Structure 1
Amino acid sequence: MVLYKGPRLLDFAKTPQYLQFNKYVLTGYRPVSTAKDCLRSLFYMHNELGNIYTHGALPIIHITLLCYPATRQTALLVYIVLSAYSIYCATTARTNVLRLQAFIWQALFRFGLFLFRVLGSGVGSPNSLRLFVIMDTLAVVGGLINIIQIPERFIPGLFDNWGNSHQIMHVMVICSIIYLHWGTLEDLAWIRTYQCPTEG
């Protein structure tokens, strides 16, 4: 997927130190970028492109709208556009509250997918829906903890290095991704034996 000729990518040794957290990924690093550059990075190959496009709702959209191919393609495109817009808003936000609000459209989109499944129009494993609800709940609660700045707000200085709200948020996001993984595995196991009803 190369729709835009991106900047020259960096090797591990040439990346800023704060990005050097995986010594086994040797190439394909984006240089330090502006918000506009981050948005452009949706359209050229680099070593985080897969993370961007596979995060969150893409597997859920694919399974939920399995029997509606045209709608599925449109939904995937809409979600990618919403994600790009959310990333732009989050990277240009001046406060934590505005940063969290940037993702409201993605959240509403996913809520619509959940309703589609609950009401019986969409498809998917009966066991995966609760895992996806837990996934989004963990992510939202983590974001709120980061905004409210608990626990450091109650004892300033004690949580400077460990246990502050930003670290708690990251742990909750990791847990959220684990639930996404489990839910996707449930859906993939379920899809092996599922056939969309034929129109007749």
Structure 2
Amino acid sequence: MPWSQIYSEFLAWCHIAGSVAPWIGSFIYHLFMNTERGSLYYHRLLKLDMVGIWVSQSFGALPMVCASVFCLGRPLQWLLILCYCVFAISGLCKAMVASSPWKRRLCFTLPFLMRNLLCILRYSSYGGGSPQAMGSVILQVIQDLVSVIGGAIGAMNIPEKWFPGCLDMYLNSHNIMHVLVVLAVYFMHQATILDLVWMASGVCGPDRHQIQHPTSHMQEEL
């Protein structure tokens, strides 16, 4: 993280928490899921895994949300950020009581849709965000969509249900889903760094296209 150039340390730590949380929750879930302590213990582990995913979806995307609305009026900024937070909290509450894999995955639909709408806003003259980050943001949204597809694949147990016993170690639906999530987090990281540096400049409108990539300053000094 280019700490000396970023707009907000709080948003930077939100991004770090969002990048790390799913791996912590998933690691603990997979490590202890086979212990024979009953269904209640297993569902607690599953909820911990869902909380990690929620932190990634909510806190991890908060810098992108703030950058996208950065050039709007202050009341509208806070309204959109508040709406996103309400959608995220609502999704968490639903995920904690969801009774099936499909219901757990659908809990994150509203935040996902709002992130896509904010991506469209960035293209308009009213939107904010680093222009250099647009490629990573689009790839992040695509990977976010692919992650949703991966979640659907996981819920349907494809392709292992077609090859019983042959894909227990690799290339099963859960493996595929995790690879897609890794790619989504990687592109989120690339876009977030650019957005945090761009917000520190406070430049909106056509002039925001002149903000350089944070590594370009390092290359000039070298």
Segments of 5+ residues of structure 1 without an aligned counterpart are 1-16, 22-30
Q: Which amino acid aligns with 1:18?
A: I
Q: Is the 8 A contact 2:116 2:141 kept in 1?
A: no
Deviation per CA, 1:67-88, whole angstroms, max 9, x where unpaired?
2322222222221221111122
Distance 2:181 2:57 in 1: 15
Distance 1:96 1:77 in 2: 28
Segments of 5+ residues of structure 2 without an aligned counterpart are 1-26, 32-40, 206-222
Instruction: Report the CA distance between 1:20 and its aligned residue.
Output: 9.7
> RMSD of the alignment, in Å?
3.3
Q: Is the 8 A contact 1:61 1:72 kept in 2?
A: no
Aligned to 2:69: 65
Work out whether 1:111 is the aligned partner of 2:116: yes
- What are the within-5 Å matches in structure 2 for residues 171-182 of structure 1? 171-182=179-190
Deviation per CA, 1:9-39, whole angstroms, max 9, x where unpaired?
xxxxxxxx93697xxxxxxxxx9986xx98x
- What are the within-5 Å matches in structure 2 for residues 31-110 of structure 1? 54-56=59-61, 58-67=62-71, 68-110=73-115
Instruction: Report the CA distance between 1:62 and its aligned residue.
Output: 1.0
Q: Is the 8 A contact 2:130 2:195 kept in 1?
A: yes
Q: Which amino acid aligns with 1:160?
A: D
Provide closer, same or farther for how the CA distance between residues 148 and 127 of structure 1 changes in structure 2, counting only shifts above 3 A. Answer: farther
Q: Which amino acid aligns with 1:62?
A: C
Distance 1:156 1:32 in 2: 24
SS at match of 1:127: helix
Provide closer, same or farther for how the CA distance between residues 83 and 190 of structure 1 changes in structure 2, counting only shifts above 3 A. Answer: same
- What are the within-5 Å matches in structure 2 for residues 15-34 of structure 1? 18=28
Which one of the candidate residues 185, 194, 204 is aligned to 1:186? 194
Distance 1:155 1:49 in 2: 32
Alignment length, in residue pairs?
162
Distance 1:60 1:113 in 2: 9
Which one of the candidate residues 138, 148, 151 is aligned to 1:140? 148
Aligned to 1:159: 167
Work out whether 1:130 is the aligned partner of 2:138: no
Distance 2:162 2:42 in 1: 35
Distance 2:101 2:175 in 1: 14
Distance 1:154 1:72 in 2: 48
Provide closer, same or farther for how the CA distance between residues 164 and 106 of structure 1 changes in structure 2, counting only shifts above 3 A. Answer: same
Output the TM-score relative to the length of structure 2: 0.61
- Structure with more of its chain in helix, by fraction: 2
Identity %: 26
* Off by >6 Å, runs of 4+ in structure 1: 31-34, 47-50
